[in-house]
Structure 1
Amino acid sequence: MIEQWRRMRAARRIQPGDGRALKPFRWWQLPFRALLYLTLSHPDGRPTVYAVDLPHRADTGSGKARAHLYVDGRQYARSKLPAAFPVEGGTIEVAISAFGVKRCHYVTVDGEERQLVPDPRSAEGRRARFDGNHPALSRATGVLSVLTLLVGVALNVLQLAEPISRIPAITENLGRFDSPVHLPIWLNVALALGAVAGSTERALRLRYSLLDQAGK
């Protein structure tokens, strides 16, 4: 019921596209754009190529980030995020986080999910190629990003809990918490930057969880 309501709400955000051609990905757009593809075959074998273009900036007209759906190279629709574009056999669901692409999946009417394929020239595509060419090093990088995120979040939560526990209402009900960790400002900043780097690396692999939300 909730999922159906969310999709209906997302459908109301969809606006028709203007038919403009999809621009190729350029290297200087690495920090500012994501581009992902989905190819579906019709019963007669004819393929349709869907592309989701995600500029990492707000739309100049509305001030909101938008996703643009292209069909066979032409803009078909656009929507504020999160977006849910109805396509043949299902829906393309798109969402972003503060660190990049949060979700870009094709969900069939049967509930099966398939992640869209990033453009090989995009940051997400380069990360996928690194994973294919160096799987062991890629796994190690993924583990390191999770550990960095975990350590940064845990230590900052411990230190934040102490001043929060000193609020009179909280002290009366829960008592006062004395953090066992007190780090210098420069190290706290370094941990925060490490957590951001870890979440950004995970976003390049289209990974997202509550841990990444905490890292924000």
Structure 2
Amino acid sequence: MLKEWQRRRAARRVEPGNGKPLKPFRWWQPLSRVLFHLPLRGGDGGRTDYAVEVRYAQRFFSEDGKGRAHLYLDGRHHAESGLPAAFPVRGGTIEVALTPFGLKRCHYVTDGGAEHQLVPDRRSGEGRRARLDREHPVLSRAIGLCSLVLLVVPALLLVPQLIEAAFQVPPVTERFGTFTSPVQLPLWLNIALTLGASAASTERALRLRYNWLLDSAAQGE
């Protein structure tokens, strides 16, 4: 019920497109642009090609800081929406959601409830990461494991320090007393752990992996 309400709310944000053509993905854009594709075939055998584009820089120029997603139909700008987005398409809805490190969701949800992740453009960062997973699965799993470690370790070491800092706020101290973290790390190591966690969350975003606890901790939420 909650997901359906969120989907309807996101669908109300959809605005018509301007018909401009979809620009090809350039080699210098992996860290600034996301492009996913969804080819669909109708009952008559005809093919419809959808594409979803998100440009990260738009977040800095939007009022809410979340940016916008753009939907292309057969190579033409068909619709756009603030994020998170829910685009009604043939047979279902395309859902798009963003994190500070990249996308956490770009899925086609059919009217029957089945979910399918869209296919990343082969030249995008997500497409290159997917190709690495197909061609070198062992290396891909090792990188994924390293990313997980780089998130779990900082969470275990930094969270007690954050709790100690929170307990130093006067209203909290007056009500709950003080708390001393059992972990005290030098500043350079805290910075290194934070940078490592950010890199790990970026790598996970290339695979559209997201965990509300680990990845939120990496972005300081």
Query: Where does residue 42 of structure 1 map in the other structure?
Result: 42
Q: Which of 173, 198, 201 is matched with 1:199 structurally?
A: 201
Q: Please show how residues 40-189 of structure 1 align to structure 2 within 5 Å.
A: 40-58=40-58, 62-63=62-63, 65-167=67-169, 169-171=171-173, 173-189=175-191
Match of 1:92, SS state, is strand
Match of 2:140, SS state, is helix
Q: Please, which moves more after superposition, 26-35 or 151-160?
A: 151-160
Query: Where does residue 33 of structure 1 map in the other structure?
Result: 33
Amino acid at match of 1:151: V
Match of 1:27, SS state, is coil
Q: CA deviation at 1:110?
A: 1.3
**How many angstroms apart in 2 are the aligned matches of 1:146 and 1:87?**
35
Count of aligned residue pairs for this structure pair: 216
Distance 1:157 1:60, change over 3 A: closer
Query: Where does residue 218 of structure 2 map in the other structure?
Result: 215
Q: CA deviation at 1:193?
A: 0.1
Q: CA deviation at 1:62?
A: 4.5
**How many angstroms apart in 1 are the aligned matches of 2:21 and 2:171?**
59
Q: CA deviation at 1:178?
A: 2.0
Match of 1:214, SS state, is helix
Amino acid at match of 1:212: D
Aligned-residue Cα RMSD (Å) equals 1.7
Q: CA deviation at 1:51?
A: 0.3
Structure 2: stretches of 5+ with no match in the other structure? none
> CA-to-partner distance for each residue in 1:106-156, whole Å, 9 max, x for gaps?
001111100000000000000001111110010010011011011112211
Amino acid at match of 1:214: A
Structure 1: stretches of 5+ with no match in the other structure? none
Q: TM-score, normalised by structure 2?
A: 0.92
Match of 2:28, SS state, is helix
Match of 1:201, SS state, is helix
Q: Please, which moves more after superposition, 166-175 or 14-23?
A: 166-175
Q: CA deviation at 1:58?
A: 1.5
Amino acid at match of 1:213: S
Q: Please, which moves more after superposition, 137-146 or 6-15?
A: 6-15
Match of 1:20, SS state, is coil
